[in-house]
Structure 1
Amino acid sequence: MSAASLPRTGIGTDVHAFDTDPARELWVGGLHWPGETGLAGHSDGDVAAHAAADALFSASGLGDLGSNFGTSEPEWAGARGTALLAEAARRVRAAGFEIGNVAVQVIGNRPRLGPRRAEAQAALSEAAGAVVTLTATTTDGLGLTGRGEGLAALATALVVPVADDEERPDDTGAAG
């Protein structure tokens, strides 16, 4: 097996502070969390979806979240994290990779992800077109997440180069 055909891994991270506007909606794991103040950011601040997209870009060598969906690009202002993740997955596939899986861990005190884990995993997996698993942890009161100032997420992704002789979807999703 040549190095060009070996699976590749990537790491992604995202951190957002809670917004000072109590009307800002919270989106985490592709889900709306009613009654919770949202995260500040150019898009919806969904740390789980953003970290997953960042990990996919890292694994495929396509840059990072900021170089692909920068704050200078008005079309991504207010975008849902699942839209960013779906577009990241499309770009990764267009670059010649298939997505094996993505694992995301959200770090923070709230919201409690456990009761909605399956729903969040389904939303993220649908956006990525691949299996996305989600876990959560706290930091025992340490750091910005422990003090309740925001949320963070870490993600890893596995992508596999598609051999030139294999059919793969093109940019439009049609078989090529």
Structure 2
Amino acid sequence: MIVPRVAIGTDVHAFEAGRPCWVAGLHWPGQDGLAGHSDADVAALGDLGANFGVGQPEWAGASGVALLTETARRVRAAGFAIGNVSVQVVGVRPKIGPRRDEAQRVLSEAVGAPVTVSAATTDGLGFTGRGEGLAGIAVALVYEQPSA
């Protein structure tokens, strides 16, 4: 019997003036980016500190898509397959809706499985509602590959 597993990741970063903005694998010209060791793409990263932390300088400045691709490779190397992923970006900017299809395509290619992207605001509440940063929440369905 194949039993699916659910993995949940959360990532939060503050905006940093003058830094390029990368969210959901896409560059958002004219928007301030997020502070972080990598490009701080909250939709692509989740909690990666244990695997790609600041103690590993080779990952400094890496794109979220590169880290997501490597994470998917490691999941498969551990004997699992990825069924699908759902990501929600929480914040007031950038507006995900107009580029949702593009983001889903880029992230799906990185994962090698379907990725859906949604967005929400917090009606002006908290740091995301005040436009001080973004949060990303991702849920992935994975399952162990049967032994050959």
Corresponding residue for residue 81 of structure 1:
64
Q: Does 1:28 align with 2:11?
A: no
Aligned 1:21-170 pairs, distance under 5 A: 21-22=17-18, 24-51=19-46, 54=47, 65-165=48-148
Partner letter of residue 31 of structure 1?
Answer: L
State the identity %. Answer: 68
| Structure 2 unaligned blocks of 5 or more | none
TM-score by length of 2: 0.98
Aligned-pair RMSD on alpha carbons?
Answer: 0.8
SS in 2 for 1:35: coil
How far, CA to CA, are the matches of 2:140 and 2:91 in structure 1?
A: 21
Partner letter of residue 33 of structure 2?
Answer: G
Aligned residues: 148
How far has the Cα of 1:103 moved from its partner? 0.2
TM-score by length of 1: 0.82
Which deviations, in whole Å up to 9, do the C-alpha atoms of 1:27-77 show, x marking residues without a partner?
0000000000110000001000012xx4xxxxxxxxxx1111111110110
| Structure 1 unaligned blocks of 5 or more | 55-64, 166-176
Corresponding residue for residue 57 of structure 1:
none
